[in-house]
Chains A and B, each alone.
Chain A
Amino acid sequence: MPEAVAANELLRVRELHAWYGESHVLHGMDFAVGEGEVVTLLGRNGAGKTTTLKAIMGIVGQRTGSVRYRGTELVGLASNRIARQGIAYCPEERGIFASLDVEENLMLPPTIRPGGMSVDEIYAIFPNLKERRRSQGTKLSGGEQQMLAIGRILRTGANLLLLDEPTEGLAPVIVQQIGRLIETLKAKGFTILLVEQNFRFASTIADRHYIVEHGQVIDMIRNAELAQNLDKLHEYLGV
């Protein structure tokens, strides 16, 4: 479903296949993300959403097809080179480092281009992190760890954020905070590709949704047209 995307296309994925060892997980993903958009990948467990983010980032075993970011082909680049194009990744397991304190975790991703948020700005959004900046990273609560995992990629100047289930396992009040944060980030001009299981949450923040099944995009639904498509969506997601 790659057609009908805004003219200022930032990311374009075509015929993307990916494998973990022998197992073929992505079977020709096709989608695009426009600059400044918030786009979600929705789908059941095991549909290939997380793998799609990893394949964009270059951290799956093998991939073929095309991933273009601002026109630059990413398939074939090492993951550090992909990050340097301006893409930042927040993994599902959050990836907070136990041997680093909170501030070291926050400062870890190198600045890849100017224009990132300053540490003070990030602490202003997440005051908890500032209070606990000398704590071991993994001693934070689940919600704080998620804040840290998102906060640290805001510093780098990356424009495209890949967020893998940022609300997973968090209390409703924290989920709301993360929702507000994503709105703030969108207002600041970040482009966000979000993997979500929580479709209610996704509907509050996203511009468009791609439905993923068996490693392929099977439909695209604009958030504005969500109400008319609810039955279809429930069928896709099996909810």
Chain B
Amino acid sequence: MLDWLHIPMPPAPLLFAQLLVGLINGAFYAMLSLGLAVIFGLLNIINFTHGAQYMLGAFCAWFLLNGLGIGYWPALIIAPVVVGFSGIVIERVFLRQIAGLDHLYGLLLTFGLALIIEGGFRQAYGSSGQPYTIPAELQGAQNLGFMFLPNYRAWVIVASLGVCLATWFVIERTRLGAYLRAATENPVLVQAFGIDVPRMVTLTYGAGVGLAALAGVMAAPIYQVSPLMGTNIIIVVFAVVVIGGMGSILGAIVSGFGLGLIEGLTKVFYPEASNTVIFVIMAIVLLVKPAGLFGRAA
């Protein structure tokens, strides 16, 4: 098939293995860029703390397991609630003060918060990761004939798709989502209709942060639970958000999974470019369609 390109067809197991890795990475890109998109839409803040909050989710699960003996399944609920609540505090104490100012202030503030949170955890736990075991129910793998699919990874793909679809549904198809979309466009008028927009902003930030923490819990058994895990992923996630279109929910989901897959394929066909391919795509998208693939031009 690819003979005319003079690229040798890779062996099938390698191809499928990298596609799986790509899909897993894509699942996390999608969940994280989703939270960023929701927050950016309503708060107009580029939440650079997002990676740290993802890391907090993973650490929260780790504390729950090693400190309190609470396992993976309860952690899927508890960690997002706890970290989401910390987000509510951040919104009330910090972000509210700079609402309405230029993007740059929000970016610098959340970037500073990320440095403080991640620095504190690195001080306390070092930069090497802590292992988090896969829950007993999801150990093992399925033989699909052409490859082995670890059960936990299958779960992550299915669960993250479910999370993405549920978020999309809430925002695009419910009354609450209509409030969110309307307040993104014209918060003053929405509030003048009798809706408590400041409270909605706080809860939305909390929910977006909770989504990052949920991704962190799901990531804990796959990647090491490390203070730097957020830093590693967040730059790519920002590229994904730019490609999908700032504030676009569908864009975040599609480009999250899509770019994960492209990254995986690049590892097969041209490994040297696998770390940069997403940024190359970002540059091209910015040149051709600055609002992103799914973004509305302002």
The interface of chain A, by Cβ under 8 A from chain B, is: 57-59, 78-80, 82-84, 88-89, 91, 95, 97-100, 104, 107-110, 112, 153, 156
- Judging by beta carbons under 8 Å apart, are B179 and A108 in contact? yes
B37 to chain A, nearest CB (A): 13
Q: How far is the CA of A59 from the CA of B190 in the complex (A)?
A: 11
- Judging by beta carbons under 8 Å apart, are A109 and B188 in contact? no
- Judging by beta carbons under 8 Å apart, are A80 and B184 in contact? no
Q: 1/0 contact trace for B183-206 toward A, CB 8 Å?
A: 011101111111111100000000
Given A97-B185, A99-B185, decide whether A80 and B195 contact each other with a Cβ distance below 8 A. yes
A87 to chain B, nearest CB (A): 9
Interface bracket on B: 20 to 34
- Judging by beta carbons under 8 Å apart, are A109 and B194 in contact? yes
- Judging by beta carbons under 8 Å apart, are A84 and B194 in contact? yes
Specify which of A100, A107, A110 is in contact with B194 (CB 8 Å cutoff): A110
The reply on B175 being an interface residue by CB < 8 A is yes
List which B89-130 residues lie within 8 A (CB) of chain A.
none
B79 to chain A, nearest CB (A): 31
List which B155-212 residues lie within 8 A (CB) of chain A.
175, 178-179, 181-182, 184-186, 188-198
- Judging by beta carbons under 8 Å apart, are A100 and B182 in contact? yes
Q: Which 8 A-B pairs have the closest CB atoms?
A: A83-B194, A109-B193, A99-B181, A79-B192, A95-B189, A97-B182, A104-B178, A79-B191
Q: Which residue of A lies closest to B199 (CB)?
A: A80
Question: Which A residues touch B186, using CB under 8 A?
Answer: 95, 97
Question: Which B residues touch A83, using CB under 8 A?
Answer: 191-194
Q: How far is the CA of A107 from the CA of B175 in the complex (A)?
A: 8
Q: Which residue of B lies closest to A84 (CB)?
A: B194
A123 to chain B, nearest CB (A): 18
Given A95-B186, A97-B186, decide whether A89 and B192 contact each other with a Cβ distance below 8 A. yes
- Judging by beta carbons under 8 Å apart, are B181 and A97 in contact? yes
